[in-house]
Structure 1
Amino acid sequence: MRIIKNEDLKQRFIAEWSYDRQFSFDIAQVAQLYLFPAKSIIVQAPDRPRDLLYLVKGKTKLYDTLANGKVALIDFFTPPCFIGEMELLDPKSPSFTVQAIEDCWCLALPMAEYQQKLLQDTTFLRSVCQYLGRKNSRNIRTSSQNQAFTLSQRLAGFILLTANDEMYEEKHTQVAQYLGVSYRHLLYVLADFVKLGYLEKVGHHYRVVQPDSLARLAREVDWKTGSTEK
């Protein structure tokens, strides 16, 4: 993680996502701008986040390490969205690992310094409640999509969401679990995408060759991630 000392860029992100409107106090002067490089860890469970982050550029994934050592994908996030809001609201809530899929830019507030101020800020609390409500609705919609759409449609959208610089590198076991399908079924559809020319196998990963074809296939599936955008 790097702190970016570029006031113009920070103010541009604040204005682009109306970040300052989610607080009743002057946030523009106290927030910092962080850059997390692609594949870096933003939050490492079981450690708790030190900052309340607001993702303004990039893509992240949320996952949990289970008791048997397996890693389970839980969710994906795109701008604009909070990271660490549950830990801020409930100090006893479990912490999950958040990793940058691509370079991620976040506005940040140190929790130790601003927790009490934020918990007494009705404007901020209303924003977080609206965000959590939209995230819950999206999770319900995602569950219904797993039953309503084919694996080819859902996997096409998933690949476009998680690819970085045209490379798709997610682990098959985790993806199969996330999409609710068998490992064999997932490999069959990936092989079909290669045969159709949508993907190119590169070692253990895949290069996205025809993003437009994948986009057409995924068009009916709503792949909005955990953003707060209305």
Structure 2
Amino acid sequence: MKKLQNEQLKQQFIQTSGYLDQFSFDVSLDTQLFFFPANSYLVKENQPPSHLFYLVKGKAKLYDTLANGKVALIDFFSPPCFIGEMELVDETQTAFSVQAIEDCWCLALARKDCQKKLLKDALFLQKLCMYFAHKNYRNIKASTQNQGFPLSQRLASFILLTQNEGRYREKHTQVSEYLGVSYRHLLYVIAQFVDDGYLKKEKNSYLIQDTEKLIQLAAEVKA
């Protein structure tokens, strides 16, 4: 995590992301700009975030480490969206890990300075309620997609979501559980993608070679 002292870039993100529309008072002077390189952590498990983040560029994933040591993917973040809002509302909430899939930029408000004021802001709370509702709808939609679409289409959509600079690196065990399929079935479809020329296997990743075909496969799932 790196705090950026770039006022011009901060103002650009503020103006283009709808950030100020989330609050009934001017938060500009209290807002900071952070940069998170790909694979770094925006939030670490069991460590409450020090800031309320507003993702304005990049992609990140949310996951939990279970008692048996397995890592479970939960959700994905694309801009614009809040990160750390659950811990802001409920300080007893256990923090899950949020990791950058690609380079991420976030506008941020320090919890210690703004928490009380934010929790009294009717507009902010209304926006959070809408955000929670949309997130719940998205999770329900993902669950129904797992039941209604073949793995090839869902995997194509997942690869496009999680790729970074044309490379796909997610762990097969976590992906199979997230998509609700067996490890063997997942490996079979990935091998088919390689045979069909959509992906190329490399040492620790897959290089996407036919983005258009993956987009075509994913189109119905995203509809």
TM-score by length of 2: 0.98
Three-state SS of the structure 2 residue aligned to 1:132 is helix
Root-mean-square deviation (CA, aligned residues, Å) is: 0.9
* Superposition pairs of residues 75-86 of structure 1, within 5 angstroms: 75-86=75-86
Q: CA deviation at 1:204?
A: 3.4
Q: Distance in 2 between matches of 1:181 and 1:6?
A: 45
Q: Distance in 2 between matches of 1:83 and 1:188?
A: 35
Deviations 1:139-173 (A, max 9, x none): 11111111111100000010011011111100000
1:157 maps to 2:167: no
The one-letter code matched in structure 2 to 1:156 is A
Report which structure shows greater RCO (CA 8 Å, sep ≥6): 1
Question: Counterpart of 2:172?
Answer: 172
Question: Counterpart of 1:216?
Answer: 216
Q: CA deviation at 1:10?
A: 0.9
Q: Distance in 2 between matches of 1:92 and 1:222?
A: 35
The one-letter code matched in structure 2 to 1:72 is A
Q: Distance in 2 between matches of 1:219 and 1:17?
A: 26
Deviations 1:31-81 (A, max 9, x none): 001000000011111111000000000000000000011111111110011
Three-state SS of the structure 1 residue aligned to 2:29 is coil
Question: Counterpart of 2:35?
Answer: 35
Unaligned runs of 5+ in 1: 224-230
Q: Distance in 2 between matches of 1:32 and 1:93?
A: 24
1:108 maps to 2:113: no
1:22 maps to 2:26: no
User: How high is the sequence identity, in percent, across the aligned residues?
Assistant: 60
Q: Show structure 1 runs of 4+ deviating over 6 A.
A: none
The one-letter code matched in structure 2 to 1:184 is R
- How many matched pairs? 223
Q: Judging by fraction of residues, say which structure has more helix.
A: 2
Q: Distance in 1 between matches of 2:198 and 2:175?
A: 18
Three-state SS of the structure 2 residue aligned to 1:69 is coil
Q: CA deviation at 1:3?
A: 1.0
The one-letter code matched in structure 1 to 2:157 is G
Unaligned runs of 5+ in 2: none
Q: Distance in 2 between matches of 1:69 and 1:168?
A: 23
Q: Distance in 2 between matches of 1:58 and 1:11?
A: 17
Deviations 1:163-186 (A, max 9, x none): 111111000000000000000000
1:89 maps to 2:64: no
Question: Counterpart of 1:144?
Answer: 144
Q: Distance in 2 between matches of 1:222 and 1:76?
A: 15
Q: Distance in 1 between matches of 2:95 and 2:157?
A: 27
Question: Counterpart of 2:198?
Answer: 198
Q: CA deviation at 1:11?
A: 1.1
Question: Counterpart of 1:226?
Answer: none
Q: CA deviation at 1:5?
A: 1.2
The one-letter code matched in structure 2 to 1:19 is Y
